[in-house]
Amino acid sequence: MEIPRHWRIKKQRYSLVGEVCPHCDAKIFPPRDICPECGNEAKTTYTFSGRGEVYSYSTVYDPPAGYEEQAPYMVALIKLQEGPLVTAQITDLGEKPVEIGMPVEMVTRKLRNDGGEKGIIVYGYKFRPLMRA
């Protein structure tokens, strides 16, 4: 089990909390304290809107350990409204096929169990087709 790691990154995982660069205003996710755009220190927290669109996607039929129960599932690169690209699962698809450019929104979901049924439940961001107008 990786309890310390889950605990350390819970804010970014639960609610897309990243950083904003005080020098060039770039929005940063995941947070890394150094701005990838201008190279200056960037430690100001910034909560992302959770809106974005599908940049690319693929279906996982042969899942890595810990994700067997969910397969097949969709993973995607999501271009957040504020700029950064994040990798996440797409959930709640229903009959609608995924398309590049499809608007999506962040939801907090169960990612997996760490330590099986006895272990901790890891929660984090996924994206679903945009419900809001």
Partner 1 sequence: MTEEESKLLLKPSRPVGIMGYGSYVPRYRLPAKEVARIWTDGQSGLPIKEKAVPGLDEDVVTMSIEAARNALARSGVLPSEIRAVWVGSESHPYAVKPTSTIVAEAIGAVPNVQAGDWEFACKAGTEALVAAIGLVGSSMARYALAIGMDTAQGRPGDALEYTAGAGGAAYLIGPAEEALAIIHGSYSYVTDTPDFWRREHQRYPEHGQRFTGEPAYFKHIMEAAKALMQAVHTSPADYKYAVFHQPNTKFPRRVAAMLGFRKEQIEAGLLVPVIGNTYAGAALIGLTAILDMAEPGDRVLMVSFGSGAGSDAFDITVTEAINSRRDRALKTADYLARRTEIDYGTYVRYRGKLAT
Write out the residues near partner 1 by the rule CB under 8 A: 10-11, 14-15, 47, 69-70, 89, 91-92, 94-95, 107-111, 121, 123, 126, 131-132
* CA distances, 70 to each of 38, 63, 90, 94, 98 (Å): 39, 8, 12, 15, 17
* CA distances, 131 to each of 74, 103, 109 (Å): 18, 9, 16
Backbone angles phi, psi at 9, to 5 degrees: -105, 20
**What residues pair up with 86 in beta bridges, in sequence order?**
78
Instruction: Pick the closer one to partner 1 by CB: 26 or 106.
Output: 106
Instruction: Pick the closer one to partner 1 by CB: 79 or 126.
Output: 126
CB of 101 to partner 1, least distance (A): 21
Instruction: Pick the closer one to partner 1 by CB: 5 or 23.
Output: 5
Instruction: Pick the closer one to partner 1 by CB: 80 or 122.
Output: 122
DSSP string over 81-120: TTS-EEEEEE---TTPPP-TT-EEEEEEEEEEEESGGGSE
CB of 132 to partner 1, least distance (A): 6
CB of 7 to partner 1, least distance (A): 10
CB of 49 to partner 1, least distance (A): 12
